[in-house]
Amino acid sequence: MTWRTLDVVKDRNAGLYLGGVMASGFGDSAMSLAAGIWVKTLTGSDGLAALVGFCLWLPTFAGPAIGTAADRVRRRPLLVAANLVLAAVATAPVAVRSASDVWLLFAVLTLLGTGMVLTDAAETALTAAVVPRELRGDFNGLVHTAMESTKLLAPLAGAWLFTAFGGPAVAVLDAVSFVLAALAFRFIRVHEDLSAARETRPWTTRTAEGARYLWRHPVLRPLVVTGGTAMALSSLSSAATFAVLDAGLHRPPAYAGVLTALQGLGSVVSGLAAGALMRRTPERVFSAAGLALFALGVLARATPWLPVVLGGSLLIGLGLPCALIAAMTAVQRETPGELLGRVAATAGTLMFAPTGIALLVGSAMVAGLDHRVQLLAAGSLGLAWSAVLALTGRRGRAPGPDAGPVMADQRPA
């Protein structure tokens, strides 16, 4: 295997892009946890605290329509402007003082969720211009590793800030993170085509075009469906985490931190190795192998033996990112630049929107059934789909379009 992570980091544009994504991701992760604590503190309601995650997740369903906006303007200026607007929006919770003000926090979180869908689509499209084609697998793996790292640190920072200074301090941190992201994107050097902006067709027609392109594409559809399957099964199985600790292992709830840390470690390793592995195996095989590892990890959690459960958590972390990285790398390669925002946002909806529904189903199952039932179901479904993906639709890799505009200072890697 050839590891080209350093090539990505040394590329000026790729480094700035990575910095922007990490900055905004850090603030979002800190705010997502602190907002739940904030609502719980003000209202005392577990249901309202859980609504925080719902507000951030709900805009994902509108991804295809929101992503159309990313194809109407240049992506770099859009990211700069969007992050500055989100910075202003993120400061609004500073005015929250009592339970009667909680509606403002929910409104802000919904707007932030909408902005995240838009910026995710624009970032995916900009990657095709910023990162040389041969480095995109390494780059997407590195982005995933960076985001997983921030998810381990940012919630702790958010909880500490909330405890020490209150919710407004976390809101200011989130706003500052958006400003830093805007600065990073501002200094990326890129030339972008505006051919899509000259379209006069209705918005709904353009939105449907992106969804239709994705669903009819023989390479993209199975990879995106696999990503969505992996995320849904992850939510279904994670709902049983505390039951695994209690009924299965007889450990305290705080032991979930050990499982989370091992899964995070696996995700970091998987992200760093993704580019090298994808140069040696087709994306379809890479995705199927990752889903199989994830499924084996879920099945391991159904056992009553602590070392096996710990190993299963590591396998989940190693396998789950593979399906996501393979899908988004293929989207960037196989999609024409004028459609990339719409297709990326539609892919995001298909992969991430079902997670909330699966979490609700998993919560209902763990309340009424033995936790091993849903773990065995999730693991078996994951293995079955990975086998279907690996054994069907074998074909030569289509020479997808070199999606995206032309980078101003592009040079051979």
Alpha-carbon separation of residue 73 from 70, 141, 190, 200 (angstroms): 6, 27, 14, 14
Q: Highest mean pLDDT: which of 6-15, 27-36, 78-87, 207-216?
A: 78-87
The rounded radius of gyration (Å) of the Cα atoms in the chain is 21
Of the candidates 344, 347, 353, the one whose C-alpha atom is nearest the C-alpha of residue 54 is 353
C-beta neighbour count of 242 within 10 angstroms: 16
C-alpha span between 291 and 324 (Å, rounded)? 10
Backbone angles phi, psi at 392, to 5 degrees: -115, 160
Q: Please report, for the chain, the start and end positions of each structural domain, with discontinuous segments joined by +.
A: 1-191, 203-392
Burial class (CB in 10 A: 0-12, 13-18, 19+), 164: exposed
What pLDDT shows up at residue 401?
Answer: 44
The pLDDT-based confidence of 5 (bands split at 50, 70, 90) is low
Judge whether residue 399 has pLDDT over 70.
no
Look at residue 199 in the predicted model and tell me its pLDDT.
Answer: 59
402 — pLDDT class (breaks 50, 70, 90) = very low
Q: Does residue 232 register a pLDDT over 70?
A: yes
pLDDT of 83 reads 94
Sign of CA dihedral 111, 116, 121, 126: positive
- Fold type of domain 203-392: Growth Hormone; Chain: A; (1.20.1250)
Per-residue model confidence (pLDDT) at position 7: 66
Q: How far apart are CA 138 and CA 50, in angstroms?
A: 35
pLDDT for res 8? 67
| Full DSSP string of 393-408 | ---PPP-----S---T
The pLDDT assigned to 255 comes to 77
pLDDT averaged over the chain?
83
For 167-188, write each residue's pLDDT tens digit: 899 999 999 999 999 999 999 8
pLDDT of residue 400: 43
> pLDDT of 97-146, one tens digit each?
888 888 999 999 999 999 999 998 888 888 877 777 777 888 888 888 87
- C-alpha–C-alpha distance, residues 245 and 255, integer Å: 7
Q: What's the confidence (pLDDT) of residue 285?
A: 92
Count of beta carbons in the 10 Å neighbourhood of residue 355: 20
**Higher local confidence (pLDDT), 244 or 134:** 244
Residue 398 in this model has a pLDDT that exceeds 60 = no
Question: Position of tokens 């209202």?
Answer: 43
Cα–Cα distance between 238 and 320 in angstroms, integer? 13
Inter-axis angle of helices 220-238 and 306-334, nearest 10: 150
- What is the mean predicted confidence (pLDDT) over 68-96? 90
| Cα–Cα distance for residue pair 276/278, rounded to 1 Å | 6
Range with the poorest average pLDDT among 63-72, 130-139, 352-361: 130-139
pLDDT at 411: 31
Determine the average pLDDT of the residues in 290-307. 94
The residue that leads in pLDDT, 256 or 358, is 358
Q: Which CATH architecture has domain 1-191?
A: Up-down Bundle (1.20)
405 pLDDT more than 60: no
Per-residue pLDDT tens for 21-30? 888 888 888 8
